Amino acid sequence: MVVSEGVNRFVKKQDLIHIVVLLAIALGIGIYLIATTVLIAKDGIHYIECAQKFSSEPIGIIKNHPFGYPFLIFIVHKFVTLFSNNSSLYSWVYTAQSVTLFCRVLAFIPLYFIGKILVGPGNSFWSLLILTLLPYPTEFGSDVLRDWPHILFLACGFWAILWGAKNRNWCIWSLAGLSAGLGYMVSSVCAQLIVYAFVWLGYCLLRPAETITRRKTALAMALLITGFLIPVGPYMKTKGEILPEKIQMMIRSFSVDTKTSEMVANNVRHQTPLKYVAGGSTKLIEATVRLVDKTGANLMWFFVLPWLIGIYYHFQKITPMEEKLLITAFIAVNIISLFLRYCFVGTDLTHRYVLPLTIFTIFYIPIGLKLLSYWVVNRNQKNKLAVAVSPDTSQKWFYIIITIGLCICSPKLFRPIRIEKKGYRLAAEWLKTNTDKNSVIAVPDRRITFYAERDGFMYESGKVAARAKYVVKIVDSEDETLNFGRSAREEHSLWTNEREKRKKLVIYRMM
pLDDT in tens, 233-250: 998 888 877 666 666 665
**Burial label, 75 (beta-carbon count in 10 A; 0-12, 13-18, 19+):** middle
- Under DSSP, the state recorded for 465 is P
Alpha carbon separation from 194 to 178, 237, 328, 352, 401 (Å, rounded): 10, 20, 15, 22, 38
pLDDT score at 276:
42
What are the pLDDT digits (tens) for 407-447?
A: 999 999 999 999 988 999 999 999 999 999 989 999 989 99
Q: Tell me the average pLDDT across 69-89.
A: 89
What are the pLDDT digits (tens) for 38-57?
A: 999 999 999 999 999 998 88
Q: Tell me the average pLDDT across 489-510.
A: 80
**117, pLDDT greater than 90:** yes
Domains in the chain, number? 2
**206, pLDDT greater than 50:** yes
Determine the structural domain holding residue 479 and report its residue range: 419-510
Q: Count other C-beta atoms under 10 Å from residue 481's C-beta.
A: 4
CATH number at residue 434: 3.40.190
Residue 198 lies in a domain: no
Q: Tell me the average pLDDT across 75-91.
A: 88
Phi-psi region of 498 (alpha: psi -120 to 50; beta: other; left: phi over 0): beta
State the distance between the two ends of the chain, measured CA to CA, in whole angstroms: 87
Percent of the chain with pLDDT over 70: 84
Q: What is the C-alpha separation between 268 and 271, in angstroms, rounded?
A: 6
pLDDT score at 316:
85
Q: What is the C-alpha separation between 153 and 176, in angstroms, rounded?
A: 9
Residue 51 lies in a domain: yes
Which is more confidently placed, 495 or 462?
495
C-alpha R_g of the chain: 26
Residue 414 lies in a domain: no
Residue 136 lies in a domain: yes
Q: What is the C-alpha separation between 252 and 257, in angstroms, rounded?
A: 9
User: Is 102:23 a contact under the CB 8 Å cutoff?
Assistant: no
Residue 434 lies in a domain: yes
Residue 295: band (very low, low, confident or very high) from pLDDT cuts 50, 70, 90 = very high
Rounded to 10°, the helix 147-166/192-206 angle is 10
In what side-by-side order are the strands of the sheet with 501-510? 455-458, 440-443, 470-475, 501-510, 488-498
**167, pLDDT greater than 80:** yes
pLDDT score at 343:
84
Percent of the chain with pLDDT over 90: 55
Residue 431 lies in a domain: yes
Task: Identify which of 445, 433, 440 has the alpha carbon closest to the alpha carbon of residue 468.
Answer: 440
Q: Tell me the average pLDDT across 265-288.
A: 60
Torsion of CA 365, 367, 373, 375, to 10 degrees: -110
Residue 452 lies in a domain: yes
Residue 181 lies in a domain: no
Rounded to 10°, the helix 2-36/89-119 angle is 150
User: Is 492:507 a contact under the CB 8 Å cutoff?
Assistant: yes
**Burial label, 59 (beta-carbon count in 10 A; 0-12, 13-18, 19+):** exposed
Among residues 126, 143, 160, the one where a domain terminates is 143
Q: What is the C-alpha separation between 154 and 113, in angstroms, rounded?
A: 13
pLDDT score at 275:
47
Among residues 108, 143, 178, the one where a domain terminates is 143
**94, pLDDT greater than 50:** yes
Rounded to 10°, the helix 173-184/214-239 angle is 20
Among residues 143, 172, 201, the one where a domain terminates is 143
pLDDT score at 129:
97
Which is more confidently placed, 70 or 211?
70
Residue 315: band (very low, low, confident or very high) from pLDDT cuts 50, 70, 90 = confident
Lowest mean pLDDT of 107-116, 295-304, 333-342, 362-371, name the range: 333-342
pLDDT score at 270:
44
What are the pLDDT digits (tens) for 360-406?
A: 999 999 999 999 988 888 775 544 444 445 566 778 889 999 999 98
**18, pLDDT greater than 80:** yes
**4, pLDDT greater than 60:** no
pLDDT score at 475:
80
Q: Tell me the average pLDDT across 209-222.
A: 84
Which is more confidently placed, 486 or 181?
181
Residue 477: band (very low, low, confident or very high) from pLDDT cuts 50, 70, 90 = low
Rounded to 10°, the helix 89-119/42-53 angle is 110
**78, pLDDT greater than 50:** yes
**Average pLDDT score over the chain:** 85
Output the DSSP codes for 374-407: HHHHHTT-S-TTTSPPPHHHHHHHHHHHHHHHHH
**6, pLDDT greater than 80:** no
Q: Tell me the average pLDDT across 338-344.
A: 86
Lowest mean pLDDT of 157-166, 232-241, 258-267, 316-325, name the range: 258-267
Output the DSSP codes for 198-233: HHHHHHHHH-TTTS--HHHHHHHHHHHHHHHHHHHH
Residue 327: band (very low, low, confident or very high) from pLDDT cuts 50, 70, 90 = very high
Residue 498: band (very low, low, confident or very high) from pLDDT cuts 50, 70, 90 = low
pLDDT score at 463:
65
pLDDT score at 64:
82
Which is more confidently placed, 385 or 129?
129
Q: What is the C-alpha separation between 202 and 218, in angstroms, rounded?
A: 10
